[in-house]
Amino acid sequence: MKVIIAEKPSVGRELAKVFGANTRKDGYIEGKGYSFTWAFGHLLQLAPPQEYGYYGWRRTNLPMLPQKFKLSIRKVKTKDGFVEDPGVRKQLDIIQKLFDEASEIIVATDAGREGELIFRYIYSYLKCKKPFKRLWISSQTDEAIKDGFRNLKPGSEYDTLFSSAHCRSVSDWLVGMNATQALSLSAGGKDVLSLGRVQTPTLAMICARYLEIKNFVPKIYYQIAIQVDKDGQVFKAISADSFDTKEAGEEVFAKVRDVASGFAAGAQIVDVEAKPRKEPPPLLHDLSSLQQEANKKYGYTADQTLGLLQNLYESKLVTYPRTGSRYIGDDVFATVPQLISSLLEHPAFGKQAGNLQEAKLTKRSVNAKKVTDHHAVLITGVKPTHLSKDHQAVYDLVAGRMLEAFHQECIKEITKITVESEILFTANGTVIRSAGWRSVFNDTEDDKKDEDNTALPKVKKGEELPLADKALLEKQTKPKAMYNEASLLKALETCGKDIEDEELRDAMKDSGLGTPATRAAIIETLLTREYIIREKRNLVPTAKGLAVYEVVKDKQIAQAELTGQWEKRLEEIRSGASVQEFKAEILDYTRNITQELLVAGISLGQKPEQKANSNATDLVEPEINSK
């Protein structure tokens, strides 16, 4: 009998279905000479410090550099602390039994670094020696699955991928566990002050932005606004230049030729520019963009959106939620017309679904090369019944975005009128000529400035018009906005770099902080540690968060670039480079950061303590490759 192990039940069931296996057992499905089983994500994790003899939180334990890492069963938090997850233990027993009976194992965990690690940790923990092959597919349509099974790879082809995955895991443990204990001890040891490759740069981004805003000195400046009258239709124009002082503004202001100053036609149209602008439909949603949208529209936290989406997924209403791709492959695209028809009776989208049925679908979101472990979030076509208000709202974000993504572009006409009256003024107007995808939610602009006019009257170059009114405006420069969940999620994708272009941002996916599956949890961790709090929709650092930031802000652990550097090295390891050098650097860094933090003496009302004695001399490097 062959055993196939998937990363999660949904995939295991899907594979079984394609094979026509349908005998449901506890924790697996049987049929046609195969058994299909699954994990629930990572079942095993690197064992905690005490399993290597590092008891308690003590300076003399640091740095903790286990010679060989152990695995332990995933824990859950209960009222009596952390205990082994009983469900995980049970599933491991089932997998063990199947592996024992197996002639061959087929690895069908997600096609990626963590998917490989999930299987290899199970294999290693169960001390299994059976041969295994690898299924490597990036879409779960029947055809892709059949094709994948015809092209199974030798398991050993992914040994270097496992090496890079284990390196990532061990490095995070070494740096995170040691830095956390070191900083906590240096602050007196009463409080957990956690640090990590992802959470600390995230905290740093929030703190840096907060301080930038706090230290921002607004600058006052002046502009002149005029109301131009074209046959009774009045439009607003703003001076192209601004003035640093009120006096300078007033001097020019006095010369602007409005009707009240005795000018019946004091403004001349210098230039009229009208050009169409095409806005392509947005890409389909990945988890992060969906969380951002839900936060903007409904104020849901990243964690809440993920929870609601997970429920919809478990009810088979939407596809896999923790995806980082905003694209689908051609095979899934072929099912889109059916999905659109499933929305014909939807109260809000029915009409648009009908229109879209007739139209040629835009294929901007169709690109098989950009589908990694999972494709973009879609509805499944199963009709929802009795959804709660919140579930319905999230479902509609998915369904509506699907209609938008395959819709036609929106065509706008952008008009810019330049008016002269002593100085130059400009008026901007935007008119939607063809709503295209924007008709789905009937959303107005998202980038509209309040000084923009919607429509401007038809005027001609050289035309002279009266000024109905003029005003001297006092304005001030504004600081950047505080981070909220939406803007933080976006910043995490690009390590804080501001990139507006959707496709360019997408290209940077691999160099972001955290993953779609973990970002909500990162924010929650910072909240649990009381490093940040929610103030309305903003994420604001606390005194504790700022104190931690002050200690680590110039250290590597607070730099988003650290992840980028690691990723580069891990990719080299995956393509065959030796792990030794990277391993040595990580150990070196662990020793350094631990030492630095122990003497830092964070000022949370505690004074710095004595320098810790070094016990790192005779430690052997941890074994990274399990072979």
Catalytic machinery residues: 320
Q: Note whether 194 binds DNA by CB under 7 A.
A: yes
Residues in 43-62 at the binding interface with DNA, rule: CB under 7 A: 43, 45-46, 48-50, 56-57
How far is Cα 171 from Cα 581, in angstroms, rounded to an integer?
13
CA distances to 38, 318, 410, 513 from 407, rounded to whole Å, are 38, 20, 9, 32
Name the minimum Å distance from CB 190 to DNA. 6
Residues in 523-562 at the binding interface with DNA, rule: CB under 7 A: 525
Residues in 337-396 at the binding interface with DNA, rule: CB under 7 A: none
Q: Which of 304, 325, 515, 590 binds DNA (CB under 7 A)?
A: 515
Residues whose CB falls within 8 Å of the CB of residue 230, separated by 6 or more in sequence, listed in order = 457, 458, 459, 465
The residue among 376, 394, 392 whose CA lies nearest residue 384 is 392
Q: Note whether 42 binds DNA by CB under 7 A.
A: yes
Name the minimum Å distance from CB 74 to DNA. 5
Contact region with DNA (CB under 7 A), list: 34-42, 260-268, 446-454, 597-605: 34-42
Q: For the chain, how many residues are written?
A: 627
Q: Note whether 116 binds DNA by CB under 7 A.
A: no
Residue by residue, DSSP assigns 506-544 as HHTGGGSSS-HHHHHHHHHHHHHTTSEEEETTEEEE-HH
Q: Which of 124, 242, 310, 380 binds DNA (CB under 7 A)?
A: 310
Q: Note whether 125 binds DNA by CB under 7 A.
A: no
Q: Note whether 517 binds DNA by CB under 7 A.
A: yes
Name the minimum Å distance from CB 57 to DNA. 3
How far is Cα 439 from Cα 243, in angstroms, rounded to an integer?
41
How far is Cα 319 from Cα 323, in angstroms, rounded to an integer?
9
Q: Note whether 564 binds DNA by CB under 7 A.
A: no
How far is Cα 340 from Cα 139, in angstroms, rounded to an integer?
20
Q: Note whether 590 binds DNA by CB under 7 A.
A: no
How far is Cα 2 from Cα 152, in angstroms, rounded to an integer?
13
Q: Are 626 and 166 in contact (CB under 8 A)?
A: yes
Residues whose CB falls within 8 Å of the CB of residue 308, separated by 6 or more in sequence, listed in order = 300, 390, 391, 394
Q: Which of 31, 41, 280, 601 binds DNA (CB under 7 A)?
A: 41
Contact region with DNA (CB under 7 A), list: 122-130, 143-151, 177-185, 255-263: 177-185
Name the minimum Å distance from CB 164 to DNA. 12
CA distances to 98, 268, 419, 593 from 422, rounded to whole Å, are 86, 10, 10, 63
CA distances to 31, 150, 281, 411 from 102, rounded to whole Å, are 14, 20, 49, 60
Name the minimum Å distance from CB 314 to DNA. 7
Q: Note whether 98 binds DNA by CB under 7 A.
A: no
Q: Note whether 600 binds DNA by CB under 7 A.
A: no
Q: Note whether 290 binds DNA by CB under 7 A.
A: no
How far is Cα 69 from Cα 543, in angstroms, rounded to an integer?
36
How far is Cα 236 from Cα 225, in angstroms, rounded to an integer?
7
Q: Note whether 606 binds DNA by CB under 7 A.
A: no
- List b or e across 311-328, with b for residues whose CB sees 16 or more CB atoms inside 10 angstroms: bbbeeebbbbbbbbbbbb
Q: Note whether 181 binds DNA by CB under 7 A.
A: yes
Q: Are 119 and 134 in contact (CB under 8 A)?
A: no
Q: Which of 7, 258, 396, 506 binds DNA (CB under 7 A)?
A: 7
Q: Note whether 9 binds DNA by CB under 7 A.
A: yes
Alpha helices, DSSP H only, in 240-286? 246-255
Name the minimum Å distance from CB 407 to DNA. 30
Residues in 451-510 at the binding interface with DNA, rule: CB under 7 A: none
Q: Binding-site residue total for DNA (CB under 7 A)?
A: 55
Q: Note whether 79 binds DNA by CB under 7 A.
A: no
Name the minimum Å distance from CB 177 to DNA. 5
Q: Note whether 301 binds DNA by CB under 7 A.
A: no
- Whether the ω angle into residue 337 lies within 30 degrees of 0, i.e. cis, is no
Q: Which of 191, 420, 452, 530 binds DNA (CB under 7 A)?
A: 191
C-beta closer to DNA: residue 10 or 380: 10
Name the minimum Å distance from CB 449 to DNA. 37
Residue with tokens 């019944």: 385
Contact region with DNA (CB under 7 A), list: 4-12, 205-213, 413-421, 435-443: 4-12
Q: Note whether 66 binds DNA by CB under 7 A.
A: no
Q: Which of 133, 257, 285, 322 binds DNA (CB under 7 A)?
A: 322
Q: Note whether 313 binds DNA by CB under 7 A.
A: yes
Name the minimum Å distance from CB 127 to DNA. 20
Q: Indicate the helix (H) or strand (E) that contains 503.
A: helix 502-507
How far is Cα 95 from Cα 379, in angstroms, rounded to an integer?
32
Q: Note whether 199 binds DNA by CB under 7 A.
A: yes
The conformation of residue 8, written as its DSSP 8-state character, comes to S
Name the minimum Å distance from CB 329 to DNA. 18
Residue with tokens 């909240």: 527
C-beta closer to DNA: residue 188 or 466: 188
Q: Kindly list the residues in this chain that would bind DNA in the complex (CB under 7 A).
A: 7-10, 40-43, 45-46, 48-50, 56-57, 74, 81-82, 110, 112, 114, 118, 168-169, 172-173, 176-177, 180-181, 184, 189-192, 194-200, 310, 313-314, 320, 322, 514-518, 521-522, 525
